[in-house]
Chain A
Amino acid sequence: MFQPATAFRIFNQMLLRAAALPVPRRLRDEWLREWQSELWHVREACAPAHGILLHAEREILSFCAGAFRDGLCLRNDSLRHKVRARPKILLTSRTSSSASQCLLVLATLGIAAYCVAMLLPGTRAVVQPYPYRDPGDIMLITAPGTSGAPRPDIRVDQYRAWKDRKQHLFAEFAFYQPIVKSVAIAPHHYEELSIARSSRNLFALLGLPIHRTLSSVDRNSALPKLILTEQAWHRYFGSDEQVSGRIITVGLRRVEVIGTFPNQQWLLPGSIDAWLLEPDVDASAIPSTAKGFILGRIAPSSPRLPSSDRWIMSAMTTSGRAQDFACTALSSRLPAPNGIFAFTVLLAFLALPATTSLPLGEYPSAHREYSWSTRIRRWVFLASKLTLILPIVYFVSLDLAHASPYTDPITTQYIQIVTSFSICLFALRWSLRDQRQRCPVCLGKLTNPARVGQFSRNFLAWNGTELICTGGHGLLHVPDIPTSWFSTQRWLYLDPSWEVLFPVAQS
């Protein structure tokens, strides 16, 4: 996985390479070498040795942007020189290089979208793997019949009873109760935080790492431990690196802060600012009437279970009667951005024929046979475009869906569905239209559109637009009104006698 600083370096290099494309080939290597050398020195002067500084990256980016102007100036100077040398030559623009430019721009866009994804905490949490250990074996146990978000309905008594009893199905239980408590952030400074009061083994059962823990934790082992979400750490503690090991008051109890955890990775019910881990597994400080959630880890030797992620379990309550409980695997609560992406891409492919015609410009009047490599190159170009488009769609849709950290998960999914489908459909449509407007021989963009014919004479002659390949390979005729004798675009290949008009392209 790339670090953001590495991603910025690669992005800057890509920009310089993109800017080098207009530079005449004989000067390009030296031009690029000078800019890369200068970029190295600019980065040394502006950017910190470790990590990233957005202000510095912006300066470096503006430095790289200057390379585009330099490259274009060199190209224009070179063209002017050619015009002076051969005034009667019909100047033509680059052809095949426009195809590689197109691919390079797409690749740059993909890297940029990936960099943004790595900078947004929400997107980064989704793209990176979740740290839960065996999420398929961890069950969230709630009262059955609750539709929508699960509610904290199970008393802590039930947790204690199950924990003390020998179990066949579960190897371990944990309990947590979301509750609002007053927390002393500093002397005379109190904030109401949403605390998950939980048994000591909650994080161990989930297999979650706690960041920035100190070795001094064991010194106050009798105190309850407090783990802050990164959001609460930034908001209430000013991102203080020394917060680990500090003793603060939650309600009337003294607790020890032992670290932080990214709130985007908390997938269980309840909006939590901090977790208060009781010093004992029984969580004896929690009143017996308190209601919360129970988590159970399925024992490896457990009997055969239903293959579904959700099932109902019947168990004895503390009052001695049987009751049903809903068990939901943690794996079913993991976000599935890949599934949404695959679904929307499929939808976009299905919707594509409604927005543009699918043929890539069959040229029925083509009489010249070109080599297999020329024909395959055209298809490889289309496949490359589609391959580059997919990661752009994936990362841009995730960036937009997770741009705001305050958006709830359901809304986030809807945003991803809409943006992924829209961008994918637009990109597929563009790639087909772009392909149709390229010369099948050199893949250069067709230019100089000219109107041919008149609408009023539609039955006597064709009317439409004529485009030319500046490489001198031919003319494309696109009818304005498809007729029975001229229904699709036609390619008119030019024979070698026309090459005199395209000396620059041929040289």
Chain B
Amino acid sequence: MAGEPKLSHTAAIILQAINAGYIYGFSVMETTGLPSGTVYPAMRRLERDELIRSQWEQESIAEEEQRPQRKYYKLTRAGKSTLEASRKRYPLLAKLIPSGPEVEVESESVIAGNA
């Protein structure tokens, strides 16, 4: 698609990681080996460009597991098509980060969406 943004290799890796099921910042860091100073700013840009969207997990789940709430990221429709285009541009992307754990992100109706 002509209007799709061209992602850098790092941004494409992060998008692939989120698509593969690594849906919060620290797991993306662990999977990609990228430092926190790269991962989080890149995710914010991806969110600004509406390729991913973020949601806070339900408070009750975090309370049950006695830990702070996490912010989960998920690809948007535009993000999925951009990732497809990036896979053609970077053929080794899927081999670098194969599909990982499938984590279900709760529906938007019960989770406060990110501003």
Interface residues of A (CB under 8 A from B): 27, 30, 33-38, 40-42, 44-45, 62-70, 73-74, 77
CB distance from A483 to the nearest CB of B (A): 51
Q: Is the CB of B26 within 8 A of A70?
A: no
Q: How many cross-chain pairs have Cβ atoms below 8 Å apart between A and B?
A: 60
On chain A, the residues within 8 Å of B70 by CB distance are 37-38, 41
Q: How far is the CA of A37 from the CA of B26 in the complex (A)?
A: 10
Within 8 A of A (CB), among B63-93: 67-71
Q: Pick the residue among A33, A44, A62 that contacts B35 (CB under 8 A).
A: A62
Q: Name the residue of chain A whose CB is nearest to the CB of B36.
A: A66
Interface residues of B (CB under 8 A from A): 24-26, 29, 35-41, 44-45, 48, 67-71, 114-115
Q: How far is the CA of A44 from the CA of B48 in the complex (A)?
A: 30
Q: Is the CB of B67 within 8 A of A41?
A: yes
- Please name the 9 residue pairs, one residue from A and one from B, whose CB atoms are nearest each other, closest first: A66-B36, A66-B37, A69-B37, A73-B41, A37-B68, A70-B40, A34-B71, A63-B36, A70-B41
CB distance from A221 to the nearest CB of B (A): 49
Q: Is the CB of B115 within 8 A of A30?
A: yes
If over half of A's interface residues share one DSSP class (helix, strand or loop), that class is named, otherwise mixed; here it is: helix
Q: Is the CB of A65 within 8 A of B37?
A: yes
On chain A, the residues within 8 Å of B71 by CB distance are 34, 37
On chain A, the residues within 8 Å of B69 by CB distance are 33, 37
Q: Is the CB of B40 within 8 A of A66?
A: yes
Q: Is the CB of B37 within 8 A of A68?
A: yes
Q: Is the CB of A69 within 8 A of B41?
A: yes
CB distance from A335 to the nearest CB of B (A): 42
Q: How far is the CA of A74 from the CA of B44 in the complex (A)?
A: 8
Given contacts A65-B37, A69-B41, A73-B41, contact A38 B48 (CB under 8 A): no
Q: How far is the CA of A30 from the CA of B115 in the complex (A)?
A: 9
On chain B, the residues within 8 Å of A77 by CB distance are 44-45, 48
Q: Name the residue of chain B whose CB is nearest to the CB of A77.
A: B48
CB distance from A442 to the nearest CB of B (A): 29
On chain A, the residues within 8 Å of B44 by CB distance are 70, 73-74, 77
CB distance from B99 to the nearest CB of A (A): 22
On chain B, the residues within 8 Å of A37 by CB distance are 68-71
CB distance from A348 to the nearest CB of B (A): 38
Q: How far is the CA of A45 from the CA of B69 in the complex (A)?
A: 16
CB distance from B66 to the nearest CB of A (A): 11
Q: Is the CB of B25 within 8 A of A34?
A: yes
A-B contact pairs, 9 of them (CB 8 A): A37-B68, A38-B25, A62-B36, A63-B29, A66-B36, A66-B39, A66-B40, A74-B41, A77-B48
On chain B, the residues within 8 Å of A63 by CB distance are 29, 36
